Amino acid sequence: MWLCLAVLVGLYYLLRWYRERQVVSHLRDKYIFITGCDSGFGNLLARQLDARGLRVLAACLTEEGAEQLRRQTSDRLETVILDVTKTDNIAAATQWVKEHVGHRGLWGLVNNAGTFHTACPTEWLALEAYMNTIKVNLLGLIEVTLNMLPLVRKAQGRIVNVSSILGRVAFLGGVYCSSKYGVEGFTDVLRRELQHFGVKVSIIEPGYFRTGMTDQKRITEKIKQAWEEVPAHIKETYGQKYFDAFYDDIKQGLLNCSTNLNLVTDCMEHALTSVHPRTRYSAGWDAQFFFIPVSYLPTSLADYILTRSWPKPAQAV
């Protein structure tokens, strides 16, 4: 019995390996639009796809980021300035893409633009931090998708949404997790609706990686700022010892983030170029071997594993 089961599992993975190695034809004629290309995953993916010969349309938040990317890539790559929180910006970028792709449509849309305010207890953050994060990570992604969708549908192409492993397992940074849970839900619905049009939708769930968003200095300064601005009664509830321990834990944890961003961009590239892309890609050892297994555990056990090392607030029961 066990031998038969092992054979079946082996055949399944062999078949999956074979299917996933099949590559879409005529890649050099296909256009890919990527948001958030100033740095991090988006910047690396734009350079990676450009080197492979695809026609990359890279959206950057700043002209400085766009100029730097152009210097690192071929003449095929084109850039546009895009703030995904501004409707008029998105409309202009959509028209720009439409003029470039013409009757062929847009083969790939990569919703990579995102922001990470900071990692700290939920009640340390003002509502404004929640609103700004959700505008970029969720509402911006949705609005870009809705605008580009007719172009993707024309090409029967791909949509790749960048979420996070924290969209599967909420762990610190409540505002960030909330926005990424929203991305997960939107992507699942979109995938099921668009299958009838020949459009494939994938989601990328990176673990902890060292990018501009997770820069140690920026994050720790944000934590200090949040702590300084919380009302006195909240400071009393948590206590200075809690803050010091929490701050040190986050500072040390950021040093352990992976620097191999190719683990993520290779997943993105596969989702765009494989005949049979996966619906979900979990990138990074922490995502695959810690967070994903934890997500299948009973909630009480998962809660214990995730919080057992947290410091205790001053007024904890």
1 occurs within a structural domain: no
Tell me if residue 176 is catalytic.
Answer: yes
Residue 305 — very low, low, confident or very high, per pLDDT cuts 50/70/90?
Answer: very high
Q: Which amino acid is at 269?
A: E
CATH number of the domain to which 190 belongs:
3.40.50.720
253 occurs within a structural domain: no
Given a cut of 70, whether residue 108 has pLDDT beyond it is yes
Given a cut of 90, whether residue 41 has pLDDT beyond it is yes
Given a cut of 90, whether residue 280 has pLDDT beyond it is yes
Q: What does DSSP say about strands 78-81 and 200-206: parallel, antiparallel, or unpaired?
A: unpaired
8 occurs within a structural domain: no
CB-CB contact of 32 with 110 (8 Å): yes
236 occurs within a structural domain: no
Report the largest interatomic distance among the alpha carbons of the chain, rounded to a whole angstrom.
Answer: 64
- pLDDT exceeding 70 applies to what percent of the chain? 100
Give the domain range for residue 113.
24-214+260-307
Give the number of domains in the chain. 1
Catalytic one among 31, 176, 208, 238?
A: 176
Given a cut of 70, whether residue 105 has pLDDT beyond it is yes
Residue 317 — very low, low, confident or very high, per pLDDT cuts 50/70/90?
Answer: low
Average pLDDT over residues 80-105: 96
- pTM summary value: 0.92
pLDDT digits (tens, 9 = 90+) for 140-181: 999 999 999 999 999 999 999 999 999 999 987 788 999 999
* Higher-scoring residue by pLDDT: 92, 211: 92
List the beta bridge partners of residue 80.
59
